[in-house]
Each structure stands twice: as C-alpha cells, then as structure tokens.
A and B are shown apart, each in its own frame.
Chain A
Amino acid sequence: QKEVEQDPGPLSVPEGAIVSLNCTYSNSAFQYFMWYRQYSRKGPELLMYTYSSGNKEDGRFTAQVDKSSKYISLFIRDSQPSDSATYLCAMSTYNQGGKLIFGQGTELSVKP
C-alpha cells in the first residue's frame, strides 16, 4: 500500500465548476500537508500549505485536512481554464529531514 493515494484522473470539468481533489494517507505521523500545481513541462508550484487538521482558504482555493480520517482535500471554486494542470498532494512528518511524500497527481482539465 502506498503511503499517499491520489486518484490520477484525468478530471474534466466545465468552466465555473467547483473542483474537489482528494488524497488519502496511511501514516498517522504526517503533520504537514501541501498542494502543488504542476503545469505541463514545468516544476511543481506550491499552492496551499496546512499544518495539522483544519481548513485554509486562499482566494478560490480551500484546503481541508481531516487527520482522524487521514484524508485531505483541495477545493477550487469558479474553476478557470488556467487551472488546467496536474495537482499533487504532498505531506511530511516533523523531523523527517525535509522529505516530502507525494501523491500520484490528478490531471485536471477545465473546459471553457
């Protein structure tokens, strides 16, 4: 079993839709949770960061962490064609020397 599971998609939605991206994990020691966005032929770009459980909102993006269920989500409101990219969840534990464990990535396409 992989430490982090993420539905690879692809996911196709119409412009303006609400997008929900999810990851599950097995290591209860994970405390730091991140979402990265990766455009084609580019490196991953940090979108959201959450420490421990709870919600965090930044513009059209909301990150949720449910440590009891070992489940994290990223919601994108009013999705735009420019949101078309691969979204990767990543997580780590305290004192893991900086090692991030990534999900497989979900490919999202927002159609105008």
Chain B
Amino acid sequence: SAVISQKPSRDICQRGTSLTIQCQVDSQVTMMFWYRQQPGQSLTLIATANQGSEATYESGFVIDKFPISRPNLTFSTLTVSNMSPEDSSIYLCSVRSGSGTETQYFGPGTRLLVL
C-alpha cells in the first residue's frame, strides 16, 4: 500500500489568508485526489490532479479558490485561498491503490480552522 504524508497536519488561520497543503506519496502515481471532509459530513471530492495537466474540478469547486499543483508523480499541493470560516474542514489527499480496483489510499488529513 502507498504511504501518504500531508503537511501541515493542522493549522489555525485568519480569514482572508491562504494556506497551501502538501501531499507526498512514497511511490509514483498517475492520479492524486483532493477531498474535503466538513464536520459531520461525508468526504467530498474537490479535484483530481494528474501530473502534467490541469486539475479537474468537481461541481461547486473552482480553481481560483482551490488552486492545485502537481509538479511530479509523487507530490501535489492544494491551496485554500481567501479563506472564510466555512472553509474550516479536514482536507485529505488520496491515490488509487493500483490493484486494478477503484480503491484509494488516503493521507492522514490536514485539519484547518479558519477564524
């Protein structure tokens, strides 16, 4: 299984500022995914990040708010821009297991609180 790390593990930010979350995988992967888990809610896919191409965003998420970089096959960043308290959430990155299934491995998450 892939080992995924995220930085920072948690942060408290002021509204109007931006935070960049890093995701590092211990093996090369084609697709990386970014999810949001709001308090008491299910995980919701924000975008899919492929190396060498623009990220694909899900309905309700836009690049200006959540810019994503994917500079190589083991690393990605998600920026939460111009934050408001509604952005307080857990942000998770994931990768496909590569076993021919649709399963995914998740990182530990970044817990963000916006004041």
Of chain B, the residue at the smallest CB distance from A48 is: B103
Q: Name the contact of A49 in the complex, choosing from B4, B96, B103 (C-beta under 8 A).
A: B103
Using C-beta atoms within 8 Å of the partner chain, give the interface range for chain A: 20 to 34
Q: For the complex formed, measure the closest distance between the CB of B95 and the CB atoms of chain A, giving whole angstroms.
A: 9
Q: Are A100 and B43 in contact (CB under 8 A)?
A: yes
Residues on the A chain within 8 Å of B111, using CB: 41
Binary contact track B17-59/A, C-beta < 8 Å → 1, others 0: 0000000000000010100000011111100100000001010
Query: Is the beta-carbon distance between A32 and B106 smaller than 8 angstroms?
Result: no
How many residues belonging to B are interface residues under a CB distance threshold of 8 Å? Answer: 25
Contact A100–B97 (Cβ < 8 Å): no
| Residue among B41, B104, B107 with max Cβ neighbours from chain A (10 Å) | B104
Chain A contacts for B102, CB-based, 8 A: 32, 34, 92, 96, 98, 100
Asked whether, in the complex, the Cβ of A43 is within 8 Å of the Cβ of B107, the reply is yes
> How many Å lie between the Cα of A4 and that of B45 in the bound state?
14
* Contact A98 B96, beta carbon cutoff 8 Å: yes
Query: If A99-B48, A100-B45 touch, does A44 touch B92 (CB 8 Å cutoff)?
Result: yes
Tell me the nearest residue of chain B to A46, going by C-beta: B103
Query: Is there contact, CB below 8 Å, between B48 and A97?
Result: yes
Query: Is B67 close to A, CB under 8 A?
Result: no
Give the residue name and chain of the B residue nearest to A94 (CB): B102
Mask for A35-47, Cβ within 8 A of B = 1, else 0?
A: 0100001111110
A-B residue pairs in contact (CB < 8 Å), sample of 18: A32-B103, A41-B109, A41-B111, A43-B4, A43-B92, A43-B109, A49-B101, A49-B103, A51-B101, A98-B102, A98-B104, A99-B33, A99-B48, A99-B58, A100-B104, A102-B42, A102-B43, A103-B42
Known A99-B48, A105-B42; further 8 A-B contacts with Cβ < 8 A: A6-B42, A32-B101, A32-B102, A42-B108, A42-B109, A43-B4, A46-B104, A100-B43
